[in-house]
Amino acid sequence: MKSSEIRQMTLQEIENKVKELRMKLLKYRVEASMGQVKNPLQKRHLRKDIARLLTIAQEKRNAQKDK
C-alpha cells in the first residue's frame, strides 16, 4: 500500500484498514506457529503497512488540531 493511496483515505477508512491488517497479522502469526506459512515476507509487509497507516492517521489528526 502506497502512502499516496493512504493520504486519499479518510481517517475512519484508515482506522478500519488498520483493524483489518491487524487481524491479518494475527492470522499470519497463528499460521506461522503451525508451520503453514507460504510467504515469510508477508509479516514484514503487514507490519510496515500498519505503521504507514498509523503514521498518516496521526498526521491527519495533528492537521485537524492545528486548524
What is the tens place of the pLDDT at every residue in 4-26? 999 999 999 999 999 999 999 99
Spatial CA neighbour of 18 closest among 61, 60, 48:
48
pLDDT band at residue 40 using 50, 70 and 90 as cut-offs: confident
Map residue 36 onto helix, strand or coil: coil
pLDDT value of position 7: 94
* pTM score: 0.89
Sketch the domain layout of the chain as residue ranges. 3-66
Can you spell out the DSSP letters for the chain? Answer: --HHHHHTS-HHHHHHHHHHHHHHHHHHHHHHHTT--S-TTHHHHHHHHHHHHHHHHHHHHHHHHH-
Q: Which CATH architecture group holds 3-66?
A: Orthogonal Bundle (1.10)
pLDDT at 67 over 80: no
